[in-house]
Structure 1
Amino acid sequence: MKPLTRIAGVACPLGLANVDTDQLIPARFMKRPRSEGYGSFLLHDLRRDESGAERPDFPLNREPWRSAPILVARRNFGSGSSREAAVYALADHGFDAVIAPTFGDIFASNAVKNGVLPAVLGEEDVEDLLAALAATPDLPVTVDLAAQTVSWGNRAASFAIDPVWREQLLNGWDDIDVTRSFAGDIRRYRTALDHDRPWANPSSGGSP
C-alpha cells in the first residue's frame, strides 16, 4: 500500500446514516475479478435508477464531487455484512478517506487493510462539515493523518483512529509489514530463548 499522510481536495457530502455494505456494493456485482475494478458499482442502487441511469441529484453524480478523494457520511457507516468488496468499491472509485461519527467494526478494519482511512469525527463536527459542503460544494477539505485533524474553511477538528491502524496507514503497511516492524524484538527474543532454553529447539540434524 502507498503511505497515507495527508489528503486534500473536495469532499463529497453523502450525508446518509446506516449505509451498509450491501448498499456500498450490491452482492450481484461481486462475481467479477477485483482486477476489473469495482468503482463503478459503488452505491449503485442509490446512484442509479431502475434503468441504470444516474440520478442527477445524488451527490456522487454531481460536480465537483464526482472525483472527490474524501467522503463524508453520518453514523454507522459500513455496517452489515463483512464483505471486503465494499472497501474495494470505495478505493477503486478514488476515495482515500471516509469521515463519519461511527463505523462498522469489520468495515473499518477492512478499510485500513486496503489503504482507506476511516476517520471518526464527532457528530456535531460532521454536521458542521456537511452544512459547509452544502453551502460551498468546492470547499477545500484537508485530512491530516499525522495530526489527526480535519480542516475546512476556518475550522479544524480532531478525529479518532486506532493507533495501530494510524501507523499502518502512515507507513503504507499491511499486517505482515506490522509484524516485520518487530523484527529486532523477535531476534532478541529468539537469541535469549536459545540461551536460556536450548533444549526447546529442534535438533539441527544427526543421529538421535
Structure 2
Amino acid sequence: MEPINQVSSVITPLDRKNVDTDQIISKEFLKRIERTGFGRFLFYHWRFDKQGNEISDFVLNKPEYKGSQILVAQDNFGCGSSREHAPWAILDYGFRVVIAPSFADIFHNNCFKNGILPIKLTEAECDEILAKGMEKPYSVDVDLEKQTVSGEDGKVYNFNIDQYYKEMLLNGWDEIALTFKYEDKIAEYEANRIAY
C-alpha cells in the first residue's frame, strides 16, 4: 500500500446519507478478479444515465471536482453488504480520504486494509465542510500525523484514529506487511520448532 501522511485536495461533496456499497459499486461490476479497474464504475448509476452518458449535475461529473482525493459524505457511509470492492472502487477512482460522521463497521475496517483514511467528524462539522464545498470548490489539507483536517479558510477540524491503523497507514502496511516486522522472530521460531 502507498503510505498516507498528508493529502491536500479540493473536496468532493457528496451530500447523501446511508450511501451503501451497492451504490458505491453496483453488483454487475464485480466480475473482475483484480483489485484495480473498479474506479470507472464508482457511483455508476448516479454518474451515468441508461445510455452511458454522464449526468452533468452529479458531483463527480463536475469539472471543478476532477482529480479530488478527498470525498466528504453524510452519516452511515458504506452501509449494506460487506463487499471489499467498495473501497477498491473508491481508491481506484483516486480518493485517498473519506470524511463522514459515521461509517458502517465492515466498510470502515476495509478502508484501513486497502490504504484509505476514513475520518469521522461530527455531523455539524461535515455539514459545514459540505456546505463550503457545494458553494464553491473548497480545499483542505489532511494531516494524519497531527490528526487534523485544515480548510483553506483556516478552519481546523480534529479527528481521532486508532494508533494501530494510524501506524499502518503512515507506513503503507497492510496486515501481511505488518508481519514482516517480526521476520527475525518467525525465522527463529521456524529454526527451533520440532518437526513432527
Name the TM-score, length of structure 2 as normaliser: 0.91
Query: Which segments of 5 or more consecutive residues in structure 1 lack a partner in the other structure?
Result: 195-200
Q: What's the CA shift string for 1:53-79, capped at 9, x where partnerless?
A: 111111000021122000000011011
Structure 2: how far apart are the matches of 1:109 and 1:147? Answer: 21
Q: What's the CA shift string for 1:176-198, capped at 9, x where partnerless?
A: 222333557x47x96xxx8xxxx
Which has the higher Rg, Structure 1 or Structure 2? 1
CA contact (8 A) 2:35 2:85 kept: no
Q: Is it true that 1:106 corresponds to 2:103 in the alignment?
A: no
Q: CA RMSD in A?
A: 2.2
Q: Is it true that 1:147 corresponds to 2:139 in the alignment?
A: no
Residue in structure 2 matched with residue 5 of structure 1 by the alignment: 5
- Offset, 1:34: 2.5
Residue in structure 2 matched with residue 162 of structure 1 by the alignment: 162
1:71 to 1:203, Cα distance in 2 relative to 1, 3 A:
closer
1:60 to 1:128, Cα distance in 2 relative to 1, 3 A:
same
- Offset, 1:46: 1.2
Counterpart of 1:94 in structure 2: which amino acid? G
Residue in structure 1 matched with residue 92 of structure 2 by the alignment: 92
Name the TM-score, length of structure 1 as normaliser: 0.86
Identity score, percent: 43
Counterpart of 1:32 in structure 2: which amino acid? R
**Structure 2 SS opposite 1:177:** helix
Counterpart of 2:148 in structure 1: which amino acid? T
Moved over 6 A (4+): none
Structure 1: how far apart are the matches of 2:18 and 2:36? Answer: 28
- Offset, 1:132: 1.0
Structure 2: how far apart are the matches of 1:53 and 1:203? Answer: 62
CA contact (8 A) 1:122 1:159 kept: no
Residue in structure 2 matched with residue 48 of structure 1 by the alignment: 48
- Offset, 1:50: 1.9
Counterpart of 2:157 in structure 1: which amino acid? A
Q: What's the CA shift string for 1:105-135, capped at 9, x where partnerless?
A: 1111111111111111111111110111122
Structure 1: how far apart are the matches of 2:111 and 2:139? Answer: 23
Counterpart of 2:94 in structure 1: which amino acid? G
Structure 2: how far apart are the matches of 1:146 and 1:47? Answer: 34
Query: Which segments of 5 or more consecutive residues in structure 2 lack a partner in the other structure?
Result: none
**Structure 1 SS opposite 2:90:** helix
- Within a 5 Å distance, the mapping from 1:31-70 to structure 2 comes to 31-34=31-34, 37-70=37-70
Query: Which of 194, 202, 205 is equivalent to 2:194?
Result: 202
**Structure 1 SS opposite 2:131:** helix
CA contact (8 A) 1:13 1:130 kept: yes
CA contact (8 A) 1:97 1:119 kept: yes
